[in-house]
A and B are shown apart, each in its own frame.
Chain A
Amino acid sequence: MGIRFILMVNKQGQTRLAQYYEWLTLEERRALEGEIVRKCLARNDQQQCSFVEHRNYKIVYRRYASLFFMVGVDDDENELAILEFIHLLVETMDKHFGNVCELDIMFHLEKAHFMLEEMVMNGCIVETSKANILSPIQLMDKAH
């Protein structure tokens, strides 16, 4: 299945965006996010891998300023590629928002989701061209 969820969590452990590609109940999400955030934030060390194993997931995470991007993947996913996928996502958001910051995502939660909808479907990476990812969003912006 590839990607199972994408989380954005700030360094206080507050969720800023959550997208799951398999159904989990609210309680399950809450518990999972709590565990993962605790694990990843505890590892905030320069000299450690950007990957953590958790239950049956592997979590690839990357920190940008105050925000952690965490992607839960299957065991046989290419971790380095996912790490770069995160960067591509951030670059794409940066291209749209201009110097993207945590607050941009908070104020435009739906847009961040729209970008993800273009990039990932059924847990697979389907689009990696920034122009293609952003064009529907720009068209919608124009219409308003």
Chain B
Amino acid sequence: MEQLKTIGRELAMGSQGGFGQSKEFLDLVKSIGEARSKAEEDRIVLSEIDILKRKLLEPDIPKRKMKEYIIRLVYIEMLGHDASFGYIHAVKMTHDDNLLLKRTGYLAVTLFLNEDHDLIILIVNTIQKDLRSDNYLVVCAALNAICRLINEETIPAVLPQVVDLLNHQKEAVRKKAIMALHRFHRKSPSSVSHLISNFRKRLCDNDPGVMGATLCPLFDLITEDVSSYKDLVSSFVSILKQVTERRLPKSYDYHQMPAPFIQIKLLKIMALLGCGDKSASEIMYMVLGDLFRKCDSSTNIGNAILYECIRCISCIIPSPKLLEAAADAISKFLKSDSHNLKYMGIDGLGRLIKISPDIAEQHQLAVIDCLEDPDDTLKRKTFELLYKMTKSSNVEVIVDRMTDYMISINDNHYKTEIASRCVELAEQFAPSNQWFIQIMNKVFEHAGDLVNIKVAHNLMRLIAEGFGEDDDDADSKLRLSAVESYLQIMSEPKLPSLFLQVISWVLGEYGTADGKYSASYISGKLCDVADAYSSDETVKGYAVSALMKIYAFEIAFGRKVDVLPECQSLIEELLASHSTDLQQRAYELQALLALDARAVESILPLDASCEDIEVDKDLSFLNGYIQQAIESGAQPYISERERSCMLETTDYHSRDHHEVPSHALRFEAYERPKPSSLPTQASTELVPVPEPSYYSEAHQPISTSSVSERESSEIKLRLDGVKQKWGRPSYQSSTSASSTPPQAANGTSSHPDVGVGSSSLKPRSSYESKKPEIDPEKQRLAASLFGGSSSSRSDRKSSSGGHKPAKGTASKPPKENPIPVQPPPDLLDFGEPTATSVTATDPFKELEGLMDSSSQDGGSTDVMGVLYSDAAPVTTTTSVDSLLSELSDSSKGNPDTYQSQTSKGPNSKEALEKDALVRQMGVNPTSQNPTLFKDLLG
């Protein structure tokens, strides 16, 4: 059978140009279809480009032929090659009178051009003309194009016509017009701000398709401004209720579910409106409760709606009953065999946990199963959940897991994300500094190039400040352990630059502090770093500064400094470095080595990185010097203001200066240095600047300990605030961004928990009691993750849910049960208590009055019923769409295939087997790629 069909198709196409297309086109498609590699495909496309370039130049190309050429251009671009040589022909085709050609032209143009392309201007005219067409399909084609091609500037050209079309008699046109307006709102909200009421009006459109489409712009509008749409809450609820009661035409059903995509959109809108609003939420309770009760959890689409309900409930202020229902739905998801449902379950759990934190506990084993699942997607989702439920009692377990996972993956995008989460959690909940440093080391070692530089500064600050208490002993222990860990890590090849900076700084400050390591040992290590990463100037700068500190401490202690030969050669190399920063550091180091202990100690005092530096802004210490100078005949300093006042009166250029204050912009050149008549003024142009560009960034944490800035820095050009022309531009910006945090230092630690120290020793005794059937490893993990649960509680949990809920007990109803199409009888019980209220204030009707809609149905109690008069009666029981029954034919008999269909797409395995079978039998006489003929739906 399979073979016959394949051969039949082959014949139909091969001989007489099958689907009304030319042999040429068929051959092209066939050769692309049979291409075995990307290279082969590229060859075909490249030769096709040549052919088309030639053919498009021919005169008088028949229209049909031209359409084919355009499709071939689409193919070229789809397969990744440039087809811009033919764009103009697509534009021309939009002018064609023939609908199919016109639409093909529009399609190609929307695929080829972005909204700012020069050719668009040629199309706007056509669009305007088409919007006036009598043929509604032409109007639709133009509206489609508007949604892709119109940009902010061209909106006014079509806006009036689009607004007119909102009342077009054809629902398809109204629907597309409302979407065009949606597009305008996105591109330029101000252009349609006076037309917002149209969206409300279209919500009560007679046609459910238009109503459904209108939900999209309304969703956007409500996201932007919830409060203006609170009046619509009851309307949305009422629409949702009527949809679930099957008042919409049956053609909107999908797998026996009434208009599920509209339901989902409505639930999304309700979530926005009910957020933090008790009274709005209350209106929704009933319909949400109904959905939970009625939704068929044996189909994917039913579960999609259930999941949306869970999301809605996690946003609004829910009733306890709804919370319970949501929790039940989640546990069904988690217990399912389908990974997709597990994923949704984990996601739902993460949302609900914000409202009721206890809910995760009953699912601990399922969560751990997901965490250990080989499927990466599920794992990540679970990490997201864990991230949300981290507290100080389980932070260690969670962050350990996260870092392990971070190390194992290659995807930089996600690595960055999870690294920053690790840092965030560690900073927030760290039980001890020791642990914090350990985690930071791991993060830096494996993702150092990806984390923010601030993280490094925080870490250095933490090590420098210690516990923030007066516990020097603990502080030095912490530092020693940091030094030890770094000395160990340093031997690893290829560490990230940022990490090496931290390491160098810590070794410089504290490497020799404890006396455990000798200065020559540490300095040797630092030289190794500078050597191994010789291309990284920042690291080298850190290393040299660290060396300087090591030597300074040695000198201060009165010990003799013997500079290792490799250090000596490093210094010599840097003295001649192209980097002025490195050069200066080397010179400083050299100068320092020649000083005596007293001087050195005041330059680099021991362990003073946390001391505040008091900057004497008035430079009062120079007073004596100035006094002396004035006495010996120098002119006193005149401030800039005084100076300009003086100039105003004396200088004949005073005109310019007059205007200066009144103008925001100054167009004249910068002032020249004033003539030498004012010698002191030189100091305003050339000032001692502590560090040029990134020197400051690199040096900042170190320089906090030095009072030597004035001594060490020479007169230089003023570089701060000037964009760096040469060298790496990023340095400049990071200077300003990062120079403050390490100095802001004292006492402003960002680790609230740090001070509490290692108080969170968890009672691990509870692990002893566990059920034999569960992997004890897993249970231990569960206990530590979901912590605090007393042993009796965990016993209970494990005995009730201990049988690995995910396996075996999936709650799929037996297949013999036909899916209940008829609304269950409990429909009545929700109808009765509210019957009065519904008729009294049918919100939908209210809305209509509000909108002053033309379609007034006096006295009708059921507006929707009238509106959707062609809707099928409620008794739609077994009239299953024949197509559907045909489609699911194969799956009906066999619950297994049905299973796979709901979870993974229809029997892809089967298709593979068939494929193999077909190949075995050699049914592919001409085609190399028989799968091209495979029925997608199997």
Contacts and interface: CB of A to CB of B under 8 A. Distances in A.
Interface of A: 2, 10-15, 17-19, 23, 26, 29-30, 33, 43-53, 55, 62-67, 78-81, 83-85, 87-88, 90-91, 93-95, 99-103, 106-110, 113-114, 117, 121-122, 124-132, 136, 139-140, 143-144
- Which of A10, A29, A47 has the largest count of B CB atoms less than 10 A from its CB? A47
B932 A103 contact: yes
B935 A49 contact: no
Interface stretch (B78-86, B721-729, B766-774): B78-86
B104 A139 contact: no
Given A124-B216, A144-B100, A100 B344 contact: no
A113 B175 CA distance: 18
B264 A64 contact: no
B9 A103 contact: yes
Contacts of A126: 175, 179, 209, 212-213, 216
Given A64-B906, A103-B9, A121-B147, A84 B301 contact: yes
A49 B380 CA distance: 12
A130 to B, nearest CB: 7
B937 A90 contact: yes
14 contacts: A11-B931, A12-B36, A19-B111, A47-B375, A50-B340, A50-B905, A62-B905, A65-B936, A80-B304, A83-B304, A91-B887, A91-B937, A102-B934, A107-B13
Interface residues of B, number: 96
B261 A139 contact: no
B931 A107 contact: no
B300 A121 contact: no
A51 B340 contact: yes
A23 B904 CA distance: 30
A83 to B, nearest CB: 6
B100 A49 contact: no
A95 to B, nearest CB: 6
A143 B99 contact: yes
B264 A81 contact: yes
B26 interface: yes
Contact of A100 (B77, B255, B936): B936
B80 A107 contact: no
A71 to B, nearest CB: 13
Contact of B307 (A67, A78, A88, A100): A78
A84 B114 CA distance: 30
B189 to A, nearest CB: 14
Interface stretch (B490-498, B577-585, B811-819, B908-916): B908-916
Contacts of A124: 179, 182, 213, 216
A108 B25 CA distance: 11
Given A64-B937, A85-B261, A107 B909 contact: no
A113 to B, nearest CB: 5
B377 A66 contact: no
A19 to B, nearest CB: 8
B20 to A, nearest CB: 8
A106 B99 contact: no
B25 to A, nearest CB: 8
Contact of B911 (A52, A66, A100, A106): A66
Contact of A48 (B81, B137, B375): B375
Given A15-B79, A30-B80, A80-B344, A121 B179 contact: yes
A11 B414 CA distance: 26
A88 B584 CA distance: 69
Given A11-B931, A62-B904, A139-B137, 9 more contacts: A17-B78, A26-B82, A62-B905, A66-B915, A81-B301, A81-B304, A108-B19, A117-B107, A128-B212
A132 B207 CA distance: 11
B554 interface: no
Interface of B: 5, 9, 13, 18-21, 26, 29, 32-33, 35-36, 38, 41, 71, 74-75, 77-82, 99-100, 103-104, 107, 111, 114-115, 137, 140, 144, 147, 172, 175-176, 179, 182-183, 186, 209, 212-213, 216, 249, 251-252, 254-255, 259-262, 264-265, 300-301, 303-304, 307-308, 311, 339-340, 342-344, 374-375, 377-378, 380, 413-414, 883-884, 887, 900, 904-906, 908-909, 911, 915, 931-938
A49 B373 CA distance: 11
Counting from the closest, the 4 A-B pairs by CB-CB distance are A66-B931, A65-B934, A80-B304, A64-B936
B934 A101 contact: yes
A80 B934 contact: no
Given A51-B377, A84-B300, A131 B906 contact: no
Given A50-B905, A51-B377, A110-B104, A84 B80 contact: no
A103 B9 CA distance: 10
Contacts of A53: 377, 380, 414
B302 to A, nearest CB: 9
A64 B107 CA distance: 25
B902 to A, nearest CB: 10
A129 B78 contact: no
A53 B413 CA distance: 10
Contacts of B5: 99
A14 B41 contact: yes
B301 A102 contact: no
Contacts of B182: 121-122, 124
Contact of B32 (A85, A106, A136, A140): A106
Contact of B937 (A19, A99, A108): A99
Given A26-B77, A91-B887, A100-B936, A79 B900 contact: no
Contact of A23 (B13, B19, B78, B115): B115
A60 to B, nearest CB: 9
Contacts of A65: 908, 911, 915, 931, 934-936, 938
Contact of A18 (B29, B78, B107, B264): B78
Given A12-B36, A50-B904, A110-B104, A79 B343 contact: yes
A130 B21 CA distance: 26
A35 B909 CA distance: 24
Given A103-B9, A122-B186, A131 B18 contact: no
B871 to A, nearest CB: 12
Contacts of B209: 126-127, 129, 132
A143 B114 CA distance: 31
A92 B673 CA distance: 79
Contacts of B19: 107-108
Contacts of B107: 110, 113-114, 117
Contact of B259 (A17, A55, A109, A128): A128
B504 to A, nearest CB: 34
Contacts of A55: 413
A94 B179 contact: no
A136 B887 contact: no
Nearest to A100: B936
- Which of B111, B264, B308 has the largest count of A CB atoms less than 10 A from its CB? B264
Nearest to A119: B261
Contacts of B342: 49
B230 to A, nearest CB: 22
Given A50-B905, A80-B303, A136-B172, A128 B252 contact: yes
Contact of B33 (A48, A64, A106, A136): A106
B343 A51 contact: yes
A108 B68 CA distance: 11
A62 B938 CA distance: 14
A127 B303 CA distance: 21
A121 B377 contact: no
A128 B849 CA distance: 29
Contacts of A83: 300, 304, 340
A129 B35 contact: no
Contact of A94 (B79, B104, B307, B887): B887
Contact of B931 (A10, A17, A93, A129): A10
Contacts of A144: 20, 100
B115 A81 contact: no
Contact of A143 (B100, B175, B900): B100
Contact of B183 (A43, A122, A131): A122
